[in-house]
């Protein structure tokens, strides 16, 4: 292999390393988005199930978490078990019948599930591309290693 060919392969390998690093960063970002969407879907499902339970049993005494992780709860007495307040935009909330709130939650969940599916498709696409580039890099490195062996074998004769 000529030194010019070797230099070209080494440069291609360097470019592939840079592209692989960029792809790793993109994959981390998309994975983070996927986790966030999954967590939001779980939060919506929990709210839906809690509302269903309140509606089904008409329970007025309940526990309410003061934080998202459930570290602290307070015991509360519900004044109204037929309605709930739901956020319908960034700064807009509405008091609606529980069935309406559950319908809105279902719509939110479907939207988030669709976004999650798109995110997971993007993650698969990026992972496939990463694997293709990694395979190409391995081919370049193998070519360089063979070239080096041939060069050192030729010098030894």
Q: Which pLDDT value is given to residue 61? A: 87
Cβ neighbourhood burial of 48 (10 Å; 0-12, 13-18, 19+) = middle
Total-model pTM: 0.79
Domain ranges of the chain: 3-151
Q: Which pLDDT value is given to residue 5? A: 86
Q: Which pLDDT value is given to residue 156? A: 54
Topology (CATH level 3) of domain 3-151: Helix Hairpins (1.10.287)
The dihedrals phi and psi of 73, each to the nearest 5 degrees, come to -120, 155
The dihedrals phi and psi of 67, each to the nearest 5 degrees, come to -145, 165
Q: Helices (H) and strands (E) in the chain — how many of each?
A: 2, 4
Q: What is the pLDDT along the chain (157 residues), one digit of tens a residue?
A: 688 888 899 999 999 999 999 999 999 999 999 999 999 999 999 999 989 988 888 878 888 888 878 899 999 898 888 999 999 988 999 999 999 999 999 999 999 999 999 999 999 999 999 999 999 999 999 988 888 777 666 665 5
Q: Which pLDDT value is given to residue 113? A: 98
């Amino acid at each position: 292999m000529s030194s010019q060919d070797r230099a070209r392969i080494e440069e291609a390998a360097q470019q592939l390393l840079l592209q692989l690093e960029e792809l790793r960063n993109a994959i981390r970002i998309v994975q983070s988005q996927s986790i966030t969407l999954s967590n939001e879907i779980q939060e919506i499902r929990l709210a839906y199930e809690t509302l269903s339970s309140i509606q089904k049993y008409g329970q007025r005494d309940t526990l309410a978490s003061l934080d998202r992780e459930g570290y602290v709860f307070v015991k509360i007495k519900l004044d109204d078990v037929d309605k709930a307040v739901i956020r319908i935009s960034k700064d807009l909330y509405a008091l609606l019948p529980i069935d309406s709130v559950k319908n809105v939650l279902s719509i939110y969940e479907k939207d988030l599930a669709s976004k999650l599916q798109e995110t997971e498709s993007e993650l698969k696409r990026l992972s496939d591309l990463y694997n293709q580039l990694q395979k190409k890099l391995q081919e370049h490195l193998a070519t360089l290693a063979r070239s080096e062996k041939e060069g050192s074998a030729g010098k030894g004769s």
